[in-house]
């Protein structure tokens, strides 16, 4: 497996790969890899001749008071894990090289897809995500790219960007990988102390409880959100950032559930912001 830090060398290397007629699968990440990331790399390996993984903690997608400096980093261990999962090349540029002084170009998806949920809670976040991805997609020019359903809103924002900017890249959205107790795997889980980790399953449990209520006939979004909120708020150290039920196309809030519904939440546990979601298909009334 190769490690490349220079964007120009990446371009050269990948044009050789393309000249050999090989397909390229691409998995963008911020590193500190876990099974969620590895599931994307394995899927890329199955469907492509050559797999590129980027490991880059993107300063543009962090707010001023967020955890950019503290975000966990371990390139050595990541390299080992990525290679075992089938990665052929890791691209891990320095931030000052990727965004040199005077950098001034940004990509932004406007409208309800990027403005609600995490977009409302983290202004500028998705602009940072789409900007880094536009650059990475231009450099890697993959046939296929792989994202996790855990970041449901990010998936839709990326899908829209790919459409609107005429990228010829197939987007594959892979299921959320969870720990045995239901907690969605995340690099940020490392921040949780043992007490916080022990109660973290409440996020997924509240989503499952809402799904059970929907299956039993509940269609009122306010009632479902209240049930989720009361379950989560009963746990010490939790602060709900948002609990929303939206349609899965435009992410517009629903009053009554119908069709394909995304139940999404962000909760702070101690100082750590965790997100999770499920999609529930609601038939009839």
Catalytically active residues, by annotation: 37
Q: Is there binding between residue 30 and ligand AMP (CB under 6 A)?
A: yes
Q: Is there binding between residue 177 and ligand AMP (CB under 6 A)?
A: yes
Q: Is there binding between residue 189 and ligand AMP (CB under 6 A)?
A: no
- Residue from the set 79, 153, 187, 205 that interacts with ligand AMP by CB under 6 A: 187
Nearest-CA neighbor of 251 among 164, 156, 160? 156
DSSP SS3 for 245: strand
Q: Is there binding between residue 40 and ligand AMP (CB under 6 A)?
A: yes
Question: Interacting stretch for ligand AMP, rule CB under 6 A, among 96-104, 172-180, 227-235, 266-274?
Answer: 172-180
Kindly identify the residues of this chain, within the stretch 110-149, that bind ligand AMP according to CB under 6 A.
147-148
CA separation (Å) from 232 to 67, 72, 182, 264, 282?
Answer: 23, 26, 15, 13, 24
Question: Interacting stretch for ligand AMP, rule CB under 6 A, among 161-169, 179-187, 191-199, 200-208?
Answer: 179-187
Nearest-CA neighbor of 122 among 200, 184, 65, 160? 65
Question: Interacting stretch for ligand AMP, rule CB under 6 A, among 9-17, 31-39, 67-75, 199-207?
Answer: 31-39
Q: In angstroms, what is the minimal distance from the CB of 173 to ligand AMP?
A: 8
Residue nearest ligand AMP by beta-carbon distance: 148
The sign one gets for the Cα dihedral 229, 235, 241, 247 is: negative
Q: How far apart are the first and last CA of the chain?
A: 53
| Alpha carbon distance 155, 162 (integer Å) | 11
| Alpha carbon distance 23, 193 (integer Å) | 42
Binding site residues, ligand AMP, CB under 6 A: 29-30, 36-37, 39-40, 147-148, 150-151, 174, 176-177, 184-187
């Amino acid at each position: 497996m190769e490690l490349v830090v220079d964007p120009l060398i990446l371009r050269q290397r990948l044009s050789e790969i393309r000249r050999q007629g090989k397909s390229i699968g691409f998995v963008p990440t911020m590193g500190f890899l876990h099974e969620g990331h590895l599931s994307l790399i394995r899927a890329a390996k199955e469907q492509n001749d050559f797999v590129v993984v980027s490991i880059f903690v993107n300063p543009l997608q962090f707010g001023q008071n967020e955890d950019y400096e503290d975000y966990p980093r371990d390139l050595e261990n990541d390299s080992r894990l990525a290679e075992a999962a089938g990665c052929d090349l890791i691209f891990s540029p320095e931030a000052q090289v990727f965004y040199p002084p005077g950098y001034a170009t940004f990509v932004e998806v406007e409208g309800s897809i990027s403005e609600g949920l995490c977009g409302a809670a983290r202004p500028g976040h998705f602009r940072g995500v789409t900007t880094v991805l536009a650059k990475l997609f231009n450099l890697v020019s993959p046939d296929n790219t792989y994202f996790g359903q855990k970041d449901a809103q990010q998936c839709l924002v990326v899908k829209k960007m790919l459409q609107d900017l005429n990228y010829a890249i197939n987007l594959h959205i892979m299921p959320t990988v969870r720990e045995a107790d239901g907690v969605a795997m995340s690099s940020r889980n490392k921040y949780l102390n043992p007490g916080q980790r022990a109660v973290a399953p409440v996020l997924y449990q509240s989503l499952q409880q809402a799904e059970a209520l929907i299956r039993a006939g509940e269609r009122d979004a306010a009632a479902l959100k209240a049930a989720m909120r009361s379950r989560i708020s009963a746990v010490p150290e939790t602060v709900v950032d948002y609990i929303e039920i939206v349609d899965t196309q435009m992410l517009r809030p629903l009053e009554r559930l119908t069709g394909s519904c995304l139940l999404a939440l962000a909760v702070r546990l101690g100082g750590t912001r965790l997100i999770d979601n499920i999609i529930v298909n609601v038939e009839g009334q």
